[in-house]
Amino acid sequence: MVYAVAEGAKKAGAEVSFFIATEFDANQINSFDAIAFGCPSMGAEQLWV
């Protein structure tokens, strides 16, 4: 799913960066115009395309 979101953002002209939660520090927030958070899903929460 993250790749689909990133592809859409790139097509709209955005620069995209990926981080694992443990790699991101709150001090980095002001370095970005927008931030999207995601998490894996399991069981009934899974998305099927």
pLDDT per position as a tens digit, 14-49: 999 999 888 999 999 999 999 988 877 776 666 666
Q: How confident is the model at residue 9 (pLDDT cuts 50, 70, 90)?
A: very high
- Number of separate domains in the chain: 1
- In the chain, what is the straight-line distance between the N-terminal and C-terminal CA atoms, in Å? 10
Domain with 15, as residue range(s), is 2-45
- For 43, left (φ over 0), alpha (ψ -120 to 50), or beta? left
- The pLDDT of residue 36 is 87
Per-residue pLDDT, 2: 83
pLDDT at 23: 92
Higher pLDDT, 23 or 2: 23
